[in-house]
Amino acid sequence: MKTLGQHCFAPMRNPRLQSTGPHLIVAMVTPFTPGGEVDRASLRKLVAHLLGGGVREFFVVGSTGESPLLDEPARLAIIETVRAAAPDGVVYAGISGTGHRHAIHHAREAARAGADVAVVMSPYFVALDQAQLADFSTAIADASPVPLALYHHVRMPTPFAVPTVARLAAHPNIIALKDTNGGDHNRCAEILAATAGRPFKFFQGVEKLVLPTLAAGGHGCVVAQGCIAPRLFRALFEAWQAGETGRAEEIQRQLTALWGIFGHRDVKQSFAHFLHTLKLPLHQRGVIATTAGALPRVTFEPQFEQMITDFMMEHLEPRLALPAS
């Protein structure tokens, strides 16, 4: 592997990546047909739904998009479909796998399919020390034809420690970190301090911490619940940018209440149950044709679906009429 500082490319200049305000990036679910194929028609409707809610940046083939369960044709179909449906948007594509060779291959294929940014977690299953994680990430960044964003998640065997993020932020092709840290809002301030003076962005991955992240100087968020509440997140950003602190705090309280469903014991019992909390509301609103996922023959108890419906009626339905400004 190359070491830090041994770069073999010129940094990309992509006009779509230029932004003067905070980034609202939605971690998209992947719609499937009952037969397990990517439902391109529903995916286009989902993009239209998000565009209508003020979203211009899309994270596909991530954990919410069921990336570990996808084969290569499915990954590329998703990226190509979203790119075509949002030609002026920014497409972030997950490239994670069990090693740097997988990630480099995925990055090159994602770029050919139209992705603007590649997003990588630490390796699945394999635990690394921090020096090894830095070398792993550097090898991918050196080879990727598009800029690389790091993705820290508490479920991965190896965390991106703050000093490691600071080292990697010096790489000219590593531009951001999505941080889904389980609720430690201090990491935002620590990483911002450690990367000060560099064109490196911090994106919050926990819905309840979006406003605290903006207040700390963070650069935006990557949120799964943006799939079902894009206008609510956009309203938060607009209130914050307008200096309407009280309104922003009220919207954050609404989003935090919506985020609470992720803590429900039935939602936490499996990854498929988590996804169903996002897909069922989209299906009930006619955005996606089915709630099918990548796993075969998954079914849910009627009581579980009723719980989701009741929760969304209380926490999402009253917010649907919220003005966009």
Instruction: Show which residues are catalytic.
Output: 151, 178
Q: Which helix (H) or strand (E) holds 33?
A: none
Q: How far apart are CA 316 and CA 294, in angstroms?
A: 26
Coil, strand or helix: which one is 38? strand
Sign of CA dihedral 277, 286, 22, 111: positive
117-121 and 148-153 beta bridge pairing: parallel
Q: How far apart are CA 311 and CA 319, in angstroms?
A: 13
> How many residues make up the chain in this entry?
325
Q: How far apart are CA 74 and CA 67, in angstroms?
A: 9
- Residues linked to residue 221 through DSSP beta bridges, in sequence order: 24, 204
Enumerate the H helices of the chain as residue ranges. 40-52, 72-85, 100-113, 130-143, 162-168, 186-194, 210-215, 230-241, 245-259, 271-284, 302-315
Nearest to 47 by CA among 16, 20, 79: 79
Q: Find the radius of gyration of the CA atoms of the chain.
A: 19
